[in-house]
Amino acid sequence: MLVLGGAAAASSGLLAACGVGTGGGPAAANGAAEVTGSFDWRKAAGTEISVLQTPHPYQVAFQPLLAEFTQLTGITVKADLVAEADYFTRLNTELASGAGNYDAFMTGAYFIWTYGPPGWMEDLRPWISNSAATKGDYDFEDIYEGLRRSTSWDFKVGSPLGSGGQWAIPWGFETNVIAYNKAEFDRRGIRPAETFDELIQLATDLTDRANNKYGIAFRGSRSWATIHPGFMTQFTREGCKDYTLQGDQLTATMNSPEAVNFTRKWVDLARTAGPTSWTTYDYPDCTADLGAGTAMMVYDADSATYPQNIAGNSAQAGNLAWHPGPAGPDGNYATNLWTWSLAMNSASKKKLAAWLFIQWATGKEAQTKAVQTGKLGFADPTRASVFDGAFKQTLGKFPGYQETFERVIGSTDIKFTPQKQFFQTTEDWAVALQDIYSGQDAKTRLDALAAANTAAVNRAS
Amino acid sequence: MAAKELTPGQRRFSPASLGADLVLLGWFVFSLFPLVWMVLLALKTNADQITTFFAFTPTLKNFGIVLSDEGTRLTSVNFTDALFNSVINCVGAVLVSLVIGIPAAYAAGRWQYRGSNDVMFTILSFRFAPELMVIVPLFVIYNQLGLFDTNVGMIWVLQLVTMPLIVWILRSYFQDLPAELEQAALLDGYTRRRAFMMVALPLVRPGIAASALLAFVFAWNNYVFPLILTGSRHTPVTVAVTRFLGGGGQAYYNLTAAAALIAALPPLIVALSIQRYLVRGLSFGAVKA
């Protein structure tokens, strides 16, 4: 999950233009072909690699396991952490410089669309398919298909996700669904909403400003990250699309009649049943309100609400439950995802060791251990076998979590059209929501946004 | 009837003075409230950090976590080491700035030559230039020179923060110092160097203390340079504090507040220990202008 980082990613073009990194020169050669012979975990024994990470339950779960990796491979891992708000500023600088200080790093799938084209990321597909570098039982296909597709693209405007290189391996991920205060729902004898109109009514009924309680929390800050969780999920379920391909040009369609109608309802929902300072809300605010008992529902990442139900983490721990959220008019549960993935720096000088680390961390065995021992949980594992095995065993006190996941996973992937101006155009989308919230006409504002975004994404191509 | 004469320090009671006192008290509470809130937050458990305001059962556990192995496991950095790194970086940066900056300030204060103001404004511009503007080239250079994630590298880059402050504040001090004092020393047979060391320097001691402290505090609080130019081995305290924020749905505002309070102690101790010089320095030096 992500709060910030788009600004840093958006500046990468400027850095490349300054002649920094590989932006202006040839990309580093893929290193997979240099690995020959039979597979051996100890092929890079004695190497030390550096990994750039941000504090997160996934990282917390894996930190104690690094000693086991060292024991297995003889490779030591130096993990540097940077706070989430500054993480992509730091990563951007590192990758743009071409310094190769970090061999592997955590990244989100959207960032591939910015970091991939200048050649800053190593294509991992040749590594996966090289039997000398990848153990026979790695089973890449065990990772959910929507996740594999979401981390692959050929960087051509109009090409769908899943075409081109595999730029990162999904490590942990989240679906965007509803988490709600089950204790309060049970007390009132009510159930989660099954349609968007029901959700609006339910959230409005649950709002009691005098007692500092409101119906539903979702993000509203001036950031691209406002669009990707609940908004994009419901936007897609209601049959809306961000762009359509016409010839070789993308046309923004966030101003289609259905999109305008949905956006108007979404903003009205924020106004009548959302947090009073909605335009500043990021995911920690939403989940904190759910944990405090102020918000009755949250429409955001399942993994973000998951820790709030762990004893000792929040006042409402033990009282929360999950639901897929409103289905679309045709009953679809299209769901947008966020995945923290592991990627390799193309400027790394220790690529084999970096790949062995990525392979180990995204493998069945390590992910199972992380699920079983992670202090803050490991929601959600990216492998079907780990979800069905170890993870399900942890869900006893998380009502509806498994059912929700199983309902949406088949239709979960990135619902955005991949394009290189993602961060700027999507932040502009969030600004448009804020403008509508403050009183501007939805149709007029979305028309202006669509015109600007159409120009931006095609200019970039 | 004539009003009774007041003794020094005594004030005449009036509704206006009472009102002024109340306004001052209100301003005092308003100004210090963020600090009070931070202290309260540092004393709360995870469950209390969002749900309570003033009524909660306080705990000192957060300070223990920050300084213990548990904090290290959570953030991958030993907070005590981070404090030590900050001390090394800031003391080193201030000492280097004093060694180079004091003669520079003396020369700038005593002699006017063609372009001297341009030189001074160039030095000042290092302070005002946005750090993000220079960070990428610095990052590249630091990697090439092997200065990335080193204390020497941090001491060097912090000159951009400390040097302009020290040079500009001390230049003003030297300008205020009567040149006749040094001329008298020269007449007595002192060399220029000895006159500087034995006459001018002792007289600007409060200024040196004040500017050094200000430079130390600015260096201590710097965030962008260490964020980009250090890794896990030489992480200073400003970067270490933010690692306690957590991520992925679980924020540790309580641990962050505890870490920030611990991080605020060294500059506070330094300020209190040279308080006598500081008051004189700020009263008589450049700040008076």
What tens digit of pLDDT does each residue of A57-72 get? Answer: 899 899 999 999 999 9
Report which of residues B128 and A51 the model is more confident about: A51
Q: Does A303 touch chain B (CB under 8 A)?
A: yes
* pLDDT at residue B3 in the model: 60
Within-domain flag for B65: no
Within-domain flag for B208: yes
Query: Residue B44 — very low, low, confident or very high, per pLDDT cuts 50/70/90?
Result: very high
Q: How many CB pairs under 8 A join A and B?
A: 116
* pLDDT at residue B157 in the model: 96
* pLDDT at residue A12 in the model: 47
Provide the number of structural domains found in chain B.
2
Q: Which secondary-structure segment (H or E) carries B180?
A: helix B179-187
Within-domain flag for B99: yes
Model confidence pLDDT, tens digit, residues A272-299? 999 999 999 999 899 999 999 999 999 9
Within-domain flag for B126: yes
* pLDDT at residue A461 in the model: 52
Q: Is residue B135 located within the same domain as residue B210?
A: yes
**Given a cut of 90, is residue B106 above it in pLDDT?**
yes
Residue B97 CA to its chain's centroid (Å): 14
Report which of residues A45 and A307 the model is more confident about: A45
Q: Is residue B237 located within the same domain as residue B150?
A: yes
Question: Average pLDDT, stretch B225-238?
Answer: 93
Percent of chain A with pLDDT over 70: 94
Q: How far is B143 from chain A (nearest CA, A)?
A: 7
Q: Is residue B197 located within the same domain as residue B237?
A: yes
Within-domain flag for B3: no
Q: Is residue B116 located within the same domain as residue B53?
A: no
Rg (CA), chain B: 24
CA–CA dist B137, A18 (Å, integer) = 9
Q: Does B245 touch chain A (CB under 8 A)?
A: yes
Query: Residue B73 — very low, low, confident or very high, per pLDDT cuts 50/70/90?
Result: confident
**CA-to-CA dists, residue A182 to A261, A274, A397, B171, B238, angstroms:** 30, 18, 12, 67, 40
Q: Is residue B55 located within the same domain as residue B115?
A: no
For residue A81, list chain B residues with Cβ-Cβ distance below 8 A: 75-77, 232, 243
* pLDDT at residue B127 in the model: 81
Amino acid found at B156 = W
Q: Is residue B85 located within the same domain as residue B129?
A: yes
Within-domain flag for B72: no
ipTM of the modeled complex: 0.76
What pTM does this model have? 0.85
Report which of residues A18 and A453 the model is more confident about: A453
Q: Is residue B228 located within the same domain as residue B105?
A: yes
Q: Check which CATH number belongs to the domain holding B116 and give it.
A: 1.10.3720.10
CB pair distance less than 8 Å for B247 and A54: yes
* pLDDT at residue B9 in the model: 72
For residue B47, list chain A residues with Cβ-Cβ distance below 8 A: 312-315, 317
* Domain containing residue B38: 17-59
Cβ B237 vs Cβ B85: under 8 Å = yes
CA–CA dist B209, B277 (Å, integer) = 6
* pLDDT at residue B288 in the model: 43
Within-domain flag for B287: no
Q: Which residues of B40-56 are buried (b: 16+ CB within 10 A; e: fewer)?
A: bbbbbbbbbbbbbeeee
Which residue carries 């007041």 as its tokens? Answer: B6
Q: Is residue B179 located within the same domain as residue B238?
A: yes
CA–CA dist A366, A371 (Å, integer) = 9
Q: Is residue B148 located within the same domain as residue B243?
A: yes
Percent of chain A with pLDDT over 90: 85
Q: Residue A380: name the closest of A398, A355, A358 by CA.
A: A398
Question: Average pLDDT, stretch A353-363?
Answer: 98
Amino acid found at A95 = L
Q: Is residue B190 located within the same domain as residue B273?
A: yes
Within-domain flag for B70: no
Q: Is residue B44 located within the same domain as residue B163?
A: no
Q: Is residue B86 located within the same domain as residue B23?
A: no
Percent of chain B with pLDDT over 70: 94
